[in-house]
Structure 1
Amino acid sequence: MALVDDIEFYGRAVEAGDMTREEAVQLLVVASAGGLTEMGASTCITDWTTVRARYAEEFGRAQENLARLRRLL
C-alpha cells in the first residue's frame, strides 16, 4: 500500500508543522502518479489517520466480491 504510506507521511508532516497543507496536497498528487486529484489528495490529508483502515476494508470487500463472482462462473 505505497499510496497509503505516502498519505500517512504527508499527513504527519502537516500535523507536525513540517510543511503546509498546500505543499502536502501538491506532493501527494504527484506521488499518486495520477491516482489522486487535488481534491482527493486534500481529503486524504484531512483523513490521514483513518485512511489505512478504510483502504484495507475496501480491499477486503473487493476480494470477497471477486470470490463470489468466481463461484458464480
Structure 2
Amino acid sequence: MRAAGFSGPTRVTVTQGMVVQRSVDEIVSAVFSLSSAAPHLFADRLPAFSEDLRHLLTSAARNDRFAERRRDIDVAIWRP
C-alpha cells in the first residue's frame, strides 16, 4: 500500500465482547455466507448438506438457540 502512495496504516479495534443469541437459520445462513461454503460449491449436494447441517444444529441447540460471544474487529485504515 505504501508503494502505491498510501500512508498508514492507522489501526483501530472495535471492541465487541457482547453475547448474541442466534437461531439455527441464522447459523445456517452464516455458514453459507463463507466463501469456503458458498452454496454453488455444493452443486447437487446442497440440499443434503443443508438438511444434515440443520439436523446437527437442531440436535445440539438449547431451546433452538445458540449463544455467540462477538469477537473484536481489527481495522487497518490506509489513506491516499
Instruction: Check whether TM > 0.5.
Output: no
Which structure is higher in helix share? Answer: 1
Higher relative contact order (CA 8 A, sep 6+): 2
With the length of structure 2 as denominator, give the TM-score of the two structures.
0.29
Which structure is higher in strand share? Answer: 2
